[in-house]
Amino acid sequence: MNKTLSSFILIAVLTGLLAALSLALQTKGYGFGALGIARLDALASAATFMPLAALYALSGALMVLLPLKAAGFVYINAAAPVHATALVLFATILGVQCARFGFGKSDALWTLVDWQFLFAAAIVATHFFLNAMRANVLMRTLFFLIFIAATLACLYWTFRL
């Protein structure tokens, strides 16, 4: 938890500094400032977290189904990298929007009120409780079904009413 929080804060601050530099260059009239902020904007959006959540849920389903050694392999090579990716993408979005807010765009933080960021929060929260999900057979079965349902929902459901 401590490593996750410190990594998140550091990436958000570094991204915010890069975005602030790009915005300052853009304000001064340099064209490459706009290119820099456009590249940071294109890096991640809230919609990116839905397929990431599907990947994470599939790896979670495999982890509660597979034996310990194979589950450890899936954890190290699938779940942990997807968790880190979600963390980096969300920190990037937060850093860019905070830099925009600092440069006078008062509605920049409203971008963070997108419901699709719940998928990023679900990835991070689930990552902390993965070990407890393997505690007994009932928990393994229940979370296997939940992970399969989450995988299918993230890939195939439109989430529109």
CA dihedral 142, 144, 147, 149 (to 10 degrees): -80
> Residue 108: CA atoms inside 13 Å, Cβ hemisphere, count?
17
- Terminal Cα-to-Cα distance of the chain (whole angstroms): 35
> Residue 63: CA atoms inside 13 Å, Cβ hemisphere, count?
28
Task: Give me 69's structure tokens.
Answer: 């050694």
Q: State pLDDT tens for residues 61-109.
A: 999 999 989 999 999 999 999 999 999 999 999 999 999 999 988 888 8
- The average pLDDT across 27-33 equals 89
Alpha helices in 75-116 (DSSP H): 80-102
Cα 118 from chain centroid (whole Å): 9
Q: Which of 4-8, 65-69, 130-134 has the lowest mean pLDDT?
A: 130-134
Rounded to two decimals, the pTM is 0.86
Is residue 1's pLDDT more than 70? no
